[in-house]
């Protein structure tokens, strides 16, 4: 199961397997289908890019299973059946045979950071600029606070064909709390075919707006981040003499 683009990335691993893929914005349908097939006794793998628990499908699977379990328990109580209890609390078990395993992966921002050098050596905040699931006002508040807190800032989903103004507005907000020469790492298709890496500054970033799309991760340094030998480095605070 998975978004078609992600399923295609693992096609060499799934030969001979039953495959169900859909396009963007059909995440709920995919996960519902995965649960239905698992309920039939099939082993189902829901594929996400990066780590399934970071902007991936793990949370949605758990949400849908929680709702399913709650509805089933409600029906049981309506029939006069009682829940099993341990130490006075309900057992939160989907079923004896229904097991969910979240397999950790390499998040896109970790892959991007490794290609840029070591920009995430101190506290950082990861923020998606997509307002499909989160109101833009909420995203702006998070950007403002992360910038004021001097976090290294990771920007996911910076720009799409239909969504273009958010990146420019986000950079303007961050620039109000950062110096013009703050390093910015731009990684497109990190560790995939077509990988491209650029390092710029906040001041230079608008020149690269056309290069940036949904397959791009931006890492914006904090007040101590510097560039050496074309690598971004954020000091952890060790007493190193340079």
Whole-Å CA distances, 95 to 39, 62, 83 = 10, 13, 12
Q: Name the residue with higher pLDDT: 195 or 80.
A: 195
CATH numbers and ranges of domains, the chain: 2-90 (3.40.1010.10), 108-233 (3.30.950.10)
pTM of the model: 0.85
Q: What average pLDDT is seen over the chain? A: 89
Between CA 185 and CA 112 the distance in angstroms is 8
Per-residue pLDDT tens over the stretch 74-113: 565 555 544 444 344 333 355 556 788 899 999 999 999 9
At 123-133, the pLDDT tens digits run 999 999 999 99
What's the confidence (pLDDT) of residue 126?
A: 98
């Amino acid at each position: 199961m998975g978004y078609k683009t992600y399923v295609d990335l693992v096609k060499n691993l799934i030969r001979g397997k039953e495959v169900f893929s859909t396009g963007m914005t059909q995440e709920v349908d995919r996960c519902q289908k995965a649960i239905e097939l698992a309920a039939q006794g099939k082993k189902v793998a829901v594929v996400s890019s990066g780590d399934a628990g970071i902007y991936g499908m793990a949370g949605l699977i758990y949400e849908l299973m929680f709702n399913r379990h709650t509805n089933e328990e409600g029906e049981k109580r309506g029939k006069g059946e009682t829940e099993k209890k341990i130490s006075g609390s309900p057992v939160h078990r989907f079923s004896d045979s229904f097991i969910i395993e979240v397999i950790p992966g390499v998040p896109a921002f970790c892959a991007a950071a490794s290609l840029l050098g070591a920009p995430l050596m101190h506290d950082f905040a990861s923020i998606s600029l997509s307002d499909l699931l989160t109101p833009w006002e909420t995203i702006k508040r998070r950007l403002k606070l992360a910038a004021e807190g001097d976090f290294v800032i990771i920007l996911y989903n910076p720009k799409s064909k239909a969504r273009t103004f958010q990146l420019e507005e986000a950079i303007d907000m961050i620039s109000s709390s950062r110096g013009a020469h703050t390093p910015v790492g731009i990684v497109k298709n990190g560790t995939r075919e077509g990988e491209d890496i650029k390092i710029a500054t906040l001041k230079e970033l608008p020149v690269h707006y056309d290069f940036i799309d949904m397959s791009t991760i931006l890492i914006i340094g904090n007040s101590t981040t510097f560039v050496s030998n074309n690598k971004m480095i954020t000091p952890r605070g060790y007493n190193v003499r340079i």
